Chain A
Amino acid sequence: MNALIISAVLGVIMMFSGILLKQKNAVRNIATAGMGVLLVVNILEMYGMSFFRINTEGMMHFDRFSLLFNSIIFFSTFLYFILSARDIEKTGSYYAEYFALIFFILCGVVLATSFESLLILFLGIEIISIPLYILTGSDKKNLKSNEASLKYFLLGAFSTGLMLMGIALVYGATGTFSTGPVAMPDGKPGVLLIAGMMLLLFSMSFKVSAAPFHFWTPDVYDGAPTVFTSFMATIIKAAVFIAFIRLFYELFGSMQPQWQIWIALITAGTLFVGNITAVFQQSVKRMLAYSSIAQAGFMLLSIFAMNADAKEGLLLYAAAYCMATIGIFAVLIKMSDYTFDGFNGLAKRQPLVAGTTAIFLLSLAGIPLTAGFISKFYMLKAALATGRHLWLVIFAVLMAAVSVYYYFRVIQAMYFKENHEPKVIPVSKTFKWILAILAALIILLGIFPDLLLNWFYF
């Protein structure tokens, strides 16, 4: 609850700061500070210090999982602000509003991670989506940006329609919107319920860009201003995943036999499409878009598995994935051209940046000693623990091997290729330091995942 209200307030503050404060730094500092505050209050709530006594009975439920997850999200956003806030300002003249929108989105995230009623889920998803349409289109002169935003909007609205239909059908079958385990009179679910569940499955798959509902992702991520792509690809995706996992664990948990096989197929498809298509991309940005699809495929394993390991795994995965991807995008934004050749010989010019980027990429590729490995490891573990559909695990592993192919293309470019017209990339000292810290965190998490997981239980 803290986070929800504070972030809403912060959003309003940012709106006004745009009018009141003239110089951008002030705005940025306020936003960053606010983000810090948000993180702190959320952590405080984890330790039971809730400032607001509001009865959210039957609507929202802030449990350990959602709170810890929110902290991860806020932390990532915090890093994101420190790394890329300057670049947010570059996209357009409404920098304050952009921050405001981001804070509103965070409200939506809070809703989506801690809903207890389908209504809240719906609102949360919408509060996340609508500002994103804006942010995607925020580079108004850029046709790509416009196109991306319109595509995103149309497809998003369409999927909202599907989702609502699903909710309606579920309501018809159960007579309630609360996400308690569905009551099934005669053991097995009725067609109405199944149909509703399916439609919800599809719409959620759309939001997490799982095949075959992933088509919007590459175009939108490619078209949107890179700084917002970073935000969408990491924080939003992770948040929606939590919504996804909550929905299917709590509401449809008892119907696992009906949906597990579909999730398995969707997972396989997502892994396949994401990894294979990424191989041939020429632009790193677009490659990262596909890679985000591939990573989503791995996260879907947690929903497929539906056990304690999977929850832990998803937490780890969200953290690892967000940190690594934010880092890479932060570097990518600084790049003058987004093709692989743009990275040629980076190691010579910016050894530290290149080194950290390499670590981020290794993490995404799931090389041991990085958080990326341990999170993938947990996913595989969870999937294996079910004891069903072992082919899926093998397939996931094969695809992970494929993913090495495109991640290492960047590393090769940075380290083993020469650049002929070396362009200087303007990076501040602090930027470098943050990157280093981020890399260190990834390694640390990779060696001692319990640091995070113990928080989940203690």
Chain B
Amino acid sequence: MGRFGGALIMQNALQIAWLIPLFPLLGFLINGLGRKQLSKPMIGVIGSGVILASFVMSIWVFMQVKGGNTHVAEYFDFIKVGTLKIPFAFQLDQLSSLFLLIITGVGFLIHVYSVAYMHEEKTEHYGRYFSYLNLFVFSMLLLVMGANYVILFIGWEGVGLCSYLLIGYWFKNNEYNKAANKAFIMNRIGDLAFLIAIFWLIAKVGSVSFDTVFSTESIGKLSATDITVITILLFIGATGKSAQIPLYTWLPDAMAGPTPVSALIHAATMVTAGIYMIARSNILYSMSHVTMNIVAIVGLATALLAATIALKQNDIKKVLAYSTVSQLGFMFLALGTGAYVAAVFHVMTHAFFKALLFLGSGSVIHAMGGEQDIRNMGGLSKKLKTTYWTFLIGCIAIAGIPPLSGFFSKDAILLSAFEHKEIGIVLYGIALFTALLTAFYMFRLLFITFSGKFRGTHDQEHHLHESPPAMTIPLIILAALSIVGGFVGVPEVLMHGGDRIGEFLSPVIKPHEGAHVSHSTEYALMALSTGLVLVMIIAAWFKFRNYQRTDATGLGKVLENKWYVDEFYEKSIVSPLNKFAGILNSLIEKYVIDGVVNGVGRAVNYGSRQLRLLQSGQVGSYVLLMVLSILVVFVLQFFLRK
């Protein structure tokens, strides 16, 4: 890469964009190999420093891209077989650069946060943690920078691996390891679909590079069915990574990992990979109406299901997890209704406030000495001021109260749902309902946790304290972002030219054409949603202001047990498969396959034992047998052979 070395002086960031993933990789190597030698602060500095470095690079790149010059950099041929050529190439355009910012930016904050959050860990585990985290960022960057599906897939599985490693970070705990396995395997199911989609593309188009695939002449090679199948397969892949029905159950379990990890991987970045991938292939998707509807419906269904479950969860992180699933559902709804921009926009805002909320919960857990059950909390607002306020901002943002970020993105999604040609009103209705549920359970969480009186043990109580600045500062920054983050996508009706993000992304995402509604309707919808949300919040306030623990019953119990989906999977898929494998192992293999082989051997032995009895030792019988055989041969030869 000599020519890139020279590029450092030359002022074009795009030429040296390969540095962006390289920094985290270096961080991973240093922290990973030197985790025994390096001191904790050292590790922390390296871990966060490399991310900061790539964040700076990303800003630089973003500026360049904003300046209008995008770039595809090919480095070497990853795979070159016959006509199939898969280069190791990065694509730097509006979409990827935006994601770069989110990943590195939020990632940096979370790294900083982790420095304090994880400080009790033993040094080498501390190093392990940061190396994993860096590796994750590396893979995530690969994912968004990759200029073709294969590189994307590499990142795709890479992040899956890191999430596996980080969920199982406390590997002594077997439950955590199980959760980790679950996450990886469920992702694998999706990945298989993804792979098949890639093969399909190769078979039909002969290439996997984005610019080739999306070019009109290769689109021409694809029949309508091809496109539908490919897009559906890709979407299945996305459901695995972005925790949609039916593959969402791993995400709540993934909360086994350290809280910052949940914030980074299972809220802000990795789980949005699916949205990124679909947004990236928006050209294909826009061409298959069927897939679009499937995406929309699945997304909405997920949003609703997760929201309902979130209503009754008592683990602070579980609530957030389900809310994440639900929010992701919203994003897919947006994708399905063609509002790719809205989806990406929501990815961004969601990254801000969900990261904020997770980190906040982390700070709470930190203060509570590892306690996660909100029923044992309450009245924390007095002790944890910063945490409380930032958390509150997060809640408002996610609930979608103007003018916080959540409002704009969610509003865009609701609007796009409303504008859906056939079933717009239905989609909108359910989406709105879900949004209201969101508001309700978020504030339930808030009130149960922070208001009322403390319900925990005594030593927990006097041990309560605000987290160190290393943790609070990121909270504050994220809170600020959650407040202002929305202004990059103000709808046209409120401010002319306010939809900056839309314009910015327009080169990669063609603005979606829906049945544009009149401004008045738009105002009405906004007002409606905002109003109802406020109602919900108040309801929550009255219900949970000073919460007393009560056991859930009826529907509540069902919800508390997450609609028994896990149990259903266990019963319907896992255990039958296990039984089947057992049968194969203990019956088929042993008695059929092996039995046949050994049977032949035994048959030979048996034949031997019988045949030797012919050797009776009697001369008479020998002669008799000889004569008889002579007789037979003569008869055959002379009378039966012609």
Q: Does B607 contact A (CB under 8 A)?
A: yes
B621 to nearest A CB, angstroms? 8
Judged by DSSP, the binding face of A is helix
Residue in B605, B614, B619, B629 whose beta carbon sits within 8 Å of that of A151 in the complex = B619
Which residues of B are in contact with A by a Cβ distance under 8 Å? 604-605, 607-609, 611-612, 614-615, 617, 619, 622-623, 625-626, 629-630, 633-634, 637-638
Among residues of A, the one whose C-beta sits closest to the C-beta of B622 is A215
In the bound complex, residues from chain A placing their C-beta under 8 Å from that of B608 are 276-280
Among residues of A, the one whose C-beta sits closest to the C-beta of B636 is A262
Q: Which of A179-219 contact B (CB under 8 A)?
A: 191, 194-195, 198, 202, 206, 212-213, 215-216, 218-219
Q: Which of A270-286 contact B (CB under 8 A)?
A: 273, 276-281
**CB 8 Å contact bits of A269-308 with B (1 = contact, 0 = none):** 0000100111111000000000000000000000000000
Q: How far is the CA of A213 from the CA of B608 in the complex (A)?
A: 18
Q: How far is the CA of A273 from the CA of B619 in the complex (A)?
A: 18
* Contact present for A279 and B605 (CB under 8 Å): yes
Residue in A212, A218, A219, A277 whose beta carbon sits within 8 Å of that of B626 in the complex = A212
* Contact present for B615 and A280 (CB under 8 Å): no
Among residues of B, the one whose C-beta sits closest to the C-beta of A211 is B629
Residue in B609, B617, B629 whose beta carbon sits within 8 Å of that of A280 in the complex = B609
* Contact present for A219 and B615 (CB under 8 Å): yes
Residue in A162, A191, A215, A280 whose beta carbon sits within 8 Å of that of B605 in the complex = A280
**A155-B622, A215-B626 as given contacts; A277 in contact with B637, CB under 8 Å:** no
**CB 8 Å contact bits of A255-266 with B (1 = contact, 0 = none):** 000100010000
Q: How far is the CA of A219 from the CA of B615 in the complex (A)?
A: 9
Which residues of A are in contact with B by a Cβ distance under 8 Å? 151, 154-155, 158, 162, 191, 194-195, 198, 202, 206, 212-213, 215-216, 218-219, 258, 262, 273, 276-281, 402, 405
Q: How far is the CA of A195 from the CA of B639 in the complex (A)?
A: 13
Q: How far is the CA of A206 from the CA of B629 in the complex (A)?
A: 12
* Contact present for B607 and A276 (CB under 8 Å): yes
* Contact present for A280 and B612 (CB under 8 Å): yes
Which of A162, A195, A277: most chain B CB closer than 10 A?
A277
Which of A155, A213, A219, A276: most chain B CB closer than 10 A?
A276
* Contact present for B611 and A276 (CB under 8 Å): yes
* Contact present for A218 and B629 (CB under 8 Å): no
Judged by DSSP, the binding face of B is helix
Residue in A191, A212, A219 whose beta carbon sits within 8 Å of that of B638 in the complex = A191
In the bound complex, residues from chain A placing their C-beta under 8 Å from that of B605 are 279-280
* Contact present for A198 and B634 (CB under 8 Å): yes
In the bound complex, residues from chain A placing their C-beta under 8 Å from that of B622 are 151, 155, 215-216
In the bound complex, residues from chain A placing their C-beta under 8 Å from that of B607 are 276
* Contact present for A154 and B609 (CB under 8 Å): no
* Contact present for B619 and A155 (CB under 8 Å): yes
Which of B612, B614, B623: most chain A CB closer than 10 A?
B612
In the bound complex, residues from chain A placing their C-beta under 8 Å from that of B615 are 215, 218-219, 277
Q: How far is the CA of A405 from the CA of B626 in the complex (A)?
A: 29
**A276-B607, A280-B608 as given contacts; A262 in contact with B626, CB under 8 Å:** no
Q: How far is the CA of A338 from the CA of B636 in the complex (A)?
A: 42
Q: How far is the CA of A280 from the CA of B637 in the complex (A)?
A: 34
In the bound complex, residues from chain B placing their C-beta under 8 Å from that of A213 are 626, 629
* Contact present for B604 and A262 (CB under 8 Å): no
In the bound complex, residues from chain A placing their C-beta under 8 Å from that of B626 are 158, 202, 206, 212-213, 215
In the bound complex, residues from chain B placing their C-beta under 8 Å from that of A158 are 623, 626
B620 to nearest A CB, angstroms? 10
* Contact present for B619 and A405 (CB under 8 Å): no
In the bound complex, residues from chain B placing their C-beta under 8 Å from that of A191 are 638
B613 to nearest A CB, angstroms? 10
* Contact present for B634 and A276 (CB under 8 Å): no
Can you list 24 A-B contacts with CB-CB less than 8 angstroms, sorted by A residue number?
Answer: A151-B619, A151-B622, A154-B619, A155-B622, A194-B638, A195-B634, A195-B638, A198-B630, A198-B633, A202-B633, A206-B626, A212-B626, A212-B629, A213-B629, A215-B614, A215-B622, A258-B637, A273-B611, A276-B607, A276-B608, A277-B608, A277-B615, A279-B608, A280-B608
* Contact present for A219 and B612 (CB under 8 Å): no
A90 to nearest B CB, angstroms? 26
Q: How far is the CA of A162 from the CA of B608 in the complex (A)?
A: 30
* Contact present for A277 and B611 (CB under 8 Å): yes
In the bound complex, residues from chain B placing their C-beta under 8 Å from that of A218 are 615
Please provide the 4 A-B residue pairs with the shortest distance between their CB atoms, ordered closest to farther. A280-B608, A215-B622, A279-B608, A212-B629
Q: How far is the CA of A21 from the CA of B612 in the complex (A)?
A: 46
